[in-house]
Amino acid sequence: MYLLGIETSCDETAAAVVESGEKIHSNIVASQIATHGRYGGVVPELASREHLRAIVPVVRLAVEQAGISRGDLAAVAVTCGPGLVGSLLVGLTYAKALSLCWGIPLIGVNHLEGHIHALLLEEKQKARPPNGGEVELPALALVVSGGHTNLFYLWRQESGDYLYRLLGRTRDDAAGEAFDKVAKLLGLGYPGGPIIDRLAPYGNPEAVRFTTSKMKGNDLDFSFSGLKTAVLRYVQASAALEQEIEQRRQMRRTTPQPTLEKWLATASRSTLDLIASFQQAVVTELLRRAVDAAGRHGARSLIVSGGVACNSQLRERFSANELGFPVYFPSPALCTDNAAMIAAAGYPKLLAGRFSGLSLAAEASLRL
């Protein structure tokens, strides 16, 4: 059974065709980084307009590349939240139109559930023994992206549908947002995660000591805004760092996509140490909560997904940590926003007959 997936919750217009929740036939992602880069973050109004421009050709390309005709599609799965409401509305409205015109059911998918299914989809594709590509359940799932930092406990019902319990979430900034804001502050451009990831190995992660506060109430919740403020204070205390940041901003005006060598040429030892220490603090915070949750809940595996799960140090430290069960990450292309994960998350709902009506609404703060 072929499902068309559509994803427009933030700044990527994406469409994909996935067979039976496990075989990707096409996976098209039109990125808006060039549009938002100069503002150092996603501008919601511009994102909606870019989605409007891209949605028709992106969906057409996904169906063409899959080598199927629209009559082969069993359903259309679409992200209905959480995300930017103007962006969500573009994908959702187009999916409703396709559902109506092509006579196929509409399935609303929570974006966070999509990030978890990116991993479930890929493991099924690998179909490795001894579990035949099935991740051991119940599992913990840490979704870490530009908009979210959520820790879930997940299991599967007899119907094949998945259930989720939220164990912890960020009280302020998401982990990816912290990477992006710190990168902007240091004159490193957008998105910040990939560049911080590449520069961090050149600094000393023990050089700057960041303290993280204990969370009152739910101690599995996260907080990253204090860390961002601590980086700001550190920069404000040094005229040399501020001057260096200004030089990087000027460099980016003439060279919008600097090479690693160029970045390194503009970064002093103190900057590299600051970057390495910041990244280490974020990864430590994420790992600590995952280990705490693993100790309290009887999970059999851990899934880490979302854009920040591309981070090299995060992958290394989570993999090396003795959690006592396997840790899974999707490949980088499936960690960041895509529509294959939405089609995959829609498949169990298709089997369970859980369809959405045409009154399905876009919800900016949809909970899973």
Residues in contact with Zn ion by the rule CB under 5 A: 145, 337
SS3 310: helix
Q: How many CB atoms lie within 10 A of CB 159?
A: 12
Tell which positions 3-32 bind ligand KG4, by CB under 6 A: 10
Q: Which does 135 bind (CB under 5 to 8 A by kind): ligand KG4, Zn ion, none?
A: none
Q: Is 54 in the site for ligand KG4 (CB under 6 A)?
A: no
Closest CA to 251 of 262, 242, 241, 243: 262
Q: Verify binding: residue 306, ligand KG4, rule CB under 6 A.
A: yes
Q: Is 336 in the site for ligand KG4 (CB under 6 A)?
A: yes
267 interacts with ligand KG4 by CB under 6 A? no
Distance CA(208)–CA(125), nearest Å, equals 42
Q: Which stretch binds ligand KG4 (CB under 6 A): 46-54, 214-222, 245-253, 304-312?
A: 304-312
Tell me if 191 contacts ligand KG4 by CB under 6 A: yes
Which one, 17 or 183, has the nearer CB to ligand KG4? 183
Among Zn ion, ligand KG4, none, the one that 105 touches (CB under a kind-dependent 5 to 8 A) is none
Binding flag, residue 307, ligand KG4 (CB under 6 A): yes
Closer CB to ligand KG4, residue 203 or residue 306? 306
Element (H, E) at 96: helix 85-102
Candidates 7, 50, 173, 180; binder of ligand KG4 (CB under 6 A) is 180
**Cα 265 from chain centre:** 30
- In order, the DSSP letters of 198-227 are HHGGGS-TTSS----PPPSS-TT-B--HHH
User: How far is 88 from 361, CA to CA, in rounded Å?
Assistant: 9
Closest CA to 328 of 125, 86, 168, 187: 125
Q: In the complex, what is the shortest distance from the CB of residue 205 to ligand KG4, in angstroms, rounded to a whole number?
A: 14
Q: Return the residue of 7, 122, 173, 337 that touches ligand KG4, per CB under 6 A.
A: 337
Beta bridge partners of 69: none
CB nearer to ligand KG4: pick between 192 and 346: 192
Evaluate whether 117 touches 304 at the Cβ level (below 8 Å): no
Q: CA–CA separation, 367 vs 39, rounded Å?
A: 29
Q: Which of 27, 145, 149, 170 binds ligand KG4 (CB under 6 A)?
A: 145
CA separation for the pair 295, 14 (Å, rounded): 37
Confirm or reject binding of residue 192 to ligand KG4 (CB under 6 A): yes
Site residues (vs ligand KG4, CB under 6 A): 10, 145-147, 176, 179-180, 191-194, 197, 306-308, 310-311, 336-337
